[in-house]
A and B are shown apart, each in its own frame.
Chain A
């Protein structure tokens, strides 16, 4: 049986895909119909943050209890977080091209997001460079715990301190201020929750496959 939360995630995302294209939107210059990207681009980042929080949680758990299962979970959540971060970057670049005029600008929000993703790529490189299982688990748990708060500062705090094109930063309003009739919210919140659940589903498949791999290695 497929777990109830996985089905819930799929249903919520399906709802947001359908209703997100159909719902009336506020008519805004420059953004125009592209405001609908709010339902698709932004949930990628929400999912990434939540899943990377889970990754750090399991890194802490590993250091506290020393169970290798926590290390597997931490690593798989980090990989899923990277996937969603990459999808966030790609969708954001497309949106930027058609509203700001360029795929990439040297905006603090954009550069910070890119640096953050590189930190998690480095995490994977670090993991693959250590042979010993326990040592790898310990070193990467410490790295994970350090990189998460840095990422948070990079994408949520630094862009607010300077000027930024991105909504919700440096004097620019977030989408909440456009959202007078809450019609956007009615699609946006289910989309965020749905994609978070889908992200956990994808990570869950990765975790279970790795466990199976480990079990097979033990028997061999």
Chain B
């Protein structure tokens, strides 16, 4: 019963529309920014370690 229900529900796949791409791009940009900062810190610490 449960399986049939799930399959039926899944059949109506959801096509996302309505500028969700913009949100995805914004989130991706934020994360890239955070990672860039991690890279910056990592390199800074490396420089101190090499001293």
Contact = CB atoms under 8 A, between A and B. Distances in A.
Interface in B1-51: 2-3, 6-7, 9-10, 12-16, 20, 23-24, 27-28, 31-32, 35, 38-39, 41-43, 45, 48-49
A22 B43 CA distance: 34
Interface of A: 2, 6, 10, 13-14, 17-18, 21-22, 24-28, 33, 177-178, 180-181, 201-202, 204-205, 208-209, 211-212
Nearest to B41: A205
Contacts of B10: 26-27, 180-181
Interface of A (DSSP majority class):
helix
B37 to A, nearest CB: 10
A48 B42 CA distance: 21
Interface of B: 2-3, 6-7, 9-10, 12-16, 20, 23-24, 27-28, 31-32, 35, 38-39, 41-43, 45, 48-49
A21 B20 contact: yes
A180 B48 CA distance: 51
19 contacts: A2-B42, A6-B42, A10-B38, A14-B28, A14-B32, A17-B31, A22-B24, A24-B14, A26-B6, A26-B10, A27-B12, A28-B6, A177-B2, A180-B10, A181-B10, A201-B38, A205-B45, A208-B45, A212-B48
B9 A17 contact: no
Given A17-B31, A205-B45, A180 B6 contact: yes
B24 A17 contact: yes
Nearest to B11: A27
A202 B14 contact: no
A168 B23 CA distance: 30
Contacts of B16: 21-22
Contacts of B3: 180
A177 B9 CA distance: 14
B27 A10 contact: no
